[in-house]
């Protein structure tokens, strides 16, 4: 099982939005995926209730020392991808999520205050020794200079940047508020395209595509 931790100490960075979209895109691609809701705010769990428990499953874990055990149990039950949604302002849970992750994503708005605030998260990611990437969230759709400047700041913190951004689009908050994802709400929309591209990149990086899936797709 591959584990992706979504981590940012900054509140409202887009952690839950990113976690839900990634896990649901994986599920739609035939991967047995789940969201591990490690945030006491339980936003991902609420979203799951709004969609009447439709997959991907959301399981909760409020205790950092139990995280690894929960993931082992999920893997034993057949999960192939776990996406951990973490709380803001929580060093111990963020650090625990980084420790168990194969890949760490740090959502961040490409804005000065937000960029400044991810330095502590960047330090956590680097301390874990795991591959970590900033995913720019909710920024303008076309702003080459802004993204270039943001990329320079992120590079200064020693983090890499994912090659896909999830721009500021109404589809993301309309969808999540309705217990859906942007891909489910507007399958042909731009937000859906962004999520598909991000999932394709994560899948390739994490080698989430197992032999089983390759042979299934080849047979189709």
Nearer to Mg ion, 43 or 121 (CB): 43
Q: Which residues bind Mg ion (CB under 5 A)?
A: 15-16, 43
φ, ψ of residue 118 to 5 degrees: the values are -85, 0
Closest contact distance (angstroms) between CB of 129 and ligand ATP is 24
Q: Which residues contact 62 (CB under 8 A, 6 or more apart)?
A: 38, 40
Match 């302002």 to its residue by tokens: 89
Peptide bond before 178: cis, by omega within 30 degrees of 0?
no
d(CA 195, CA 18): 9
Nearer to ligand ATP, 48 or 80 (CB): 48
181 interface partner picked from Mg ion, ligand ATP, none, CB below 5 to 8 A per type: none
Q: Give the residue at shortest CB distance from Mg ion.
A: 16
| Nearest by Cα to 23 from 73, 67, 66, 82 | 82
User: What pairs with residue 141 in β-bridges?
Assistant: none
Q: Which residues bind ligand ATP (CB under 6 A)?
A: 8, 11-17, 39, 41, 43, 88, 137-138, 166-169, 172-173, 176
168 interface partner picked from ligand ATP, Mg ion, none, CB below 5 to 8 A per type: ligand ATP
Nearer to Mg ion, 8 or 183 (CB): 8
């Amino acid at each position: 099982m591959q584990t992706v931790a979504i981590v940012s100490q900054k509140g409202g960075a887009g952690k839950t939005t990113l976690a839900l979209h990634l896990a649901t895109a994986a599920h739609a691609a035939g991967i047995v995926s789940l969201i591990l809701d490690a945030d006491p705010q339980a936003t991902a769990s609420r979203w799951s209730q709004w969609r009447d428990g439709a997959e991907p499953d959301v399981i909760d874990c409020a205790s950092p020392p139990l995280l690894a055990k929960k993931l082992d149990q999920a893997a034993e039950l057949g999960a192939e991808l776990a996406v951990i949604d973490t709380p803001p302002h929580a060093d111990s849970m963020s650090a625990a999520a980084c420790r168990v992750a194969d890949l760490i994503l740090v959502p961040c708005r490409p804005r000065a205050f937000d960029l400044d605030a991810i330095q502590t998260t960047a330090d956590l990611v680097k301390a874990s020794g795991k591959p970590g990437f900033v995913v720019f969230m909710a920024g303008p759709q076309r702003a080459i200079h802004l993204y270039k400047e943001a990329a320079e700041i992120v590079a200064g913190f020693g983090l890499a940047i994912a090659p896909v951004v999830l721009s500021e689009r109404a589809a993301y908050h309309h969808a999540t508020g309705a217990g859906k994802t942007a891909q489910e709400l507007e399958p042909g929309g731009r937000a859906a395209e962004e999520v598909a591209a991000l999932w394709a990149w994560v899948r390739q990086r994490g080698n989430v595509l197992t032999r089983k899936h390759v042979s299934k797709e080849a047979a189709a």
